[in-house]
Amino acid sequence: MLTLGVKFTTTEPAILTLGGFLILLYVFLFTFLSGSDYIFKKTYSLSSLQQGACFGSIAAGATTFTLSAPVLYTWAHRRTEFVHSAPITPEFRLWPAIVTAPLLPVSLFWLRWTNYANISIWSSLAACFCFGIVLNAMYVASYEYIIDSYGEHAAIALASITMMSI
**60 vs 66: CA distance, rounded Å:** 10
Single out the residue of 76, 96, 74 nearest to residue 143, CA to CA.
96
**128 vs 4: CA distance, rounded Å:** 38
pLDDT tens, 133-161? Answer: 999 999 999 999 999 899 899 999 998 88
Q: What is the pLDDT of residue 61?
A: 96
Longest Cα–Cα distance of the chain, Å, equals: 57
**Model pTM greater than 0.85?**
yes
**42 vs 59: CA distance, rounded Å:** 22
Domain assignments of the chain as residue spans, ordered by start = 34-150
pLDDT tens, 104-118? Answer: 999 999 998 998 889
**Coil, strand, or helix at residue 63?**
helix
Single out the residue of 34, 40, 36 nearest to residue 121, CA to CA.
40
Query: Do 161 and 146 form a contact (C-beta atoms < 8 A)?
Result: yes
